[in-house]
Chain A
């Protein structure tokens, strides 16, 4: 369904490492993905899996001690990583936008909302003051903020957490981006507010056809939102595919483990089928398949050989020596 549309973004073999005194440790390790126009990709993983660094790397926002060491990020036919820092900066905030988890630290506390929004417009285009104001008001109204005219002259502390996240979204939308990367945008919010924000993002996405990468640890959120899901573990995508395929028929044991960890399918009060152990730190990535110490299907080959990227039907890919059988759920 999404195959006919041209890709907005193609990430190929991306690697981002972090340096410390003992060496360089890959946080993102050979990540590849494709995103089509109007598509929502859920990028799922636990803390330390590299999902946030992946998002930052795609936008070229990696600072020392981090460094993008290889790979390509092809956005609308151009490799972003090959562009000059100034050219990258021009794309960010216009064609590419990011929404962060914590709206309190993203907004400048000493500028009014109106000033911050105007800055985002004027940074990328010369626009008359009246037009700037009109676009700001428009954008605030689109994300469900009432009386935007008065809100423009207020400071971030005068907004609640949910409202602040709406403002951050309104700023991201100002220049009609082709791609939005949202990093846990609703994690800090209550369920009812999360529902409101997701509802508005869905409506906006339908309206504008913006492609989106939604980074989260919450499988429930991506299940309801995403067209495709990519599951990350120890810096790489271990499984990617259409939402229904990945959630109903996971091929990678880690994906199945995550799904079993979520209360819901297990009878009330019964033990959940947990994944033992914890995710490895960057500096102690296991050999072979990084998941093998926690995997109940691991054999000798998993300890020695990195599993190959295997392709299935309908853009399905996984990295596992012993994938779960196709039919089993």
Chain B
């Protein structure tokens, strides 16, 4: 584990399954329990988030990146593994310490339309965490904290009287950020925080994240499918594929010299205003279903460099340089790809 980690996770996993049908339950009573399919959204993930860093988490829809973020914030319970916050296991924490974790790790959601209660005024949305956790006593103190939070995200304090529908998408995302900040968190888990926003508004919100980071020494887990945004904000980047991290590296190195074939494929696909009339080369295949993950390396059916070994044996994450790990048989020994 890294010494300056604010949060680290070990063997974290989450499976989803459906309720057994009546017929299946009856069969179960007869001692012939049929197998119910299980989707392993996140399979065994190890990851450390360092204090004051921006860790980018990148992957396609369905790769498990949101589930991982929700487990880290305590919204979704893991089915395997453990989370340690500031060195202490979250599950073994006494309630008083656990409160520190609950407040210290906050989440910002993708959809600013769905994550704010439409019947509450913005002032009440922001005051609620203060009241629930008794972080401010008395209306004047609560009001002062709400106004400060609004000002911090660039909204006029008079907006506290308004309802969410009176705001644009970008302003709503600012309200979501203010709600997370009001409890003075140390780690912000941002799940696709700019994906739903227009280009010009996206730039404003990214700037807000950068300003807040400089002002408050915040740590971010920045979940996104948009590599150009991650490239801009992240210090380190983890690439996820079908429930597992396949590559982890300092951002500059990952973008300059991607190791895993999947990372290389993703980087090749980012449309850029600097490329003109490029001929796209269709990457074959789609993300497989987590209900039926391919044997061996989960990426092998789409991988241009797949070998016989990839079809049978899952590669382990191994170090290929300082702070760089990759799970790919091409890097089976220290020499790198052959």
Contact = CB atoms under 8 A, between A and B. Distances in A.
Is the A/B pair a real complex?
yes
Contacts of A270: 210
Interface in B217-269: 225, 227-229, 231-233, 251-252, 265-266, 268-269
A247 B273 contact: yes
Nearest to A218: B271
Nearest to A49: B198
Given A199-B279, A224-B280, A274 B203 contact: yes
Contacts of B232: 263-264, 266, 268-269, 272
B133 interface: no
B211 interface: yes
B303 to A, nearest CB: 12
B132 interface: no
A193 B286 contact: yes
A278 B155 CA distance: 13
Contact of A278 (B60, B170, B251): B170
A223 B252 contact: no
Contacts of A154: none
B283 A195 contact: yes
B207 A199 contact: no
Interface stretch (A94-102, A104-112, A177-185, A252-260): A252-260
Nearest to A198: B280
Nearest to A219: B273
Interface in A27-45: none
A143 B242 CA distance: 26
B276 A191 contact: no
Interface in A246-304: 247, 257-264, 266, 268-276, 278-279
B170 A224 contact: no
A223 B274 contact: yes
A257 B61 contact: no
Nearest to B285: A192
Interface string A210-226: 00000001111101110
Contacts of A257: 200
A272 B207 CA distance: 6
A72 to B, nearest CB: 30
B229 A263 contact: yes
Nearest to B302: A192
A7 interface: no
A243 B277 contact: yes
Contacts of A88: none
Contacts of A264: 228, 232, 272-274
B199 A219 contact: yes
Contacts of A259: 273
A192 B273 contact: no
Contacts of B48: none
Per DSSP, are chain B's interface residues mostly helix, strand or loop, or mixed?
Answer: helix
A143 to B, nearest CB: 11
B88 interface: no
A163 B277 CA distance: 24
Contacts of A258: 199-200
Contacts of A266: 232
Interface in A126-146: 144
Interface string B130-157: 0000000000000000000000000000
A261 B273 CA distance: 12
B250 to A, nearest CB: 11
Contacts of B168: 278
A279 B286 CA distance: 36
B271 A220 contact: yes
Nearest to A40: B277
A194 B207 contact: no
Given A220-B272, A223-B271, A263-B231, A195 B207 contact: no
Nearest to A163: B286
Interface size class of A (residues with CB under 8 A): 35 or more
B194 to A, nearest CB: 10
A192 B283 contact: yes
Contacts of A149: none
A202 B225 contact: no
Contacts of A219: 199, 273
Contacts of B210: 269-271
A244 B60 CA distance: 30
B199 A217 contact: yes
Nearest to B168: A278
A262 B286 CA distance: 27
B47 interface: no
A297 to B, nearest CB: 16
A28 to B, nearest CB: 18
B225 to A, nearest CB: 6
B281 interface: yes
Contacts of B169: 47
A217 B206 CA distance: 17
B273 A195 contact: no
B39 interface: no
A190 interface: yes
A67 interface: no
Contacts of A262: 199, 203, 228, 273
B80 interface: no
B287 interface: yes
A192 B261 CA distance: 13
Contacts of B271: 194, 198, 218, 220-221, 223-224
Given A243-B276, A262-B273, A191 B227 contact: yes
Contacts of A260: 203
Nearest to A161: B61
Given A47-B169, A257-B200, 7 more contacts: A191-B60, A192-B266, A193-B286, A263-B229, A266-B232, A268-B252, A272-B232
24 contacts: A160-B286, A191-B60, A191-B225, A191-B266, A192-B265, A194-B269, A195-B268, A195-B280, A196-B282, A199-B279, A199-B282, A223-B274, A224-B277, A243-B276, A261-B199, A262-B199, A262-B228, A263-B231, A264-B232, A268-B231, A269-B232, A272-B207, A273-B203, A275-B203
Interface of B: 60-61, 168-171, 198-204, 206-207, 210-211, 225, 227-229, 231-233, 251-252, 265-266, 268-283, 286-287
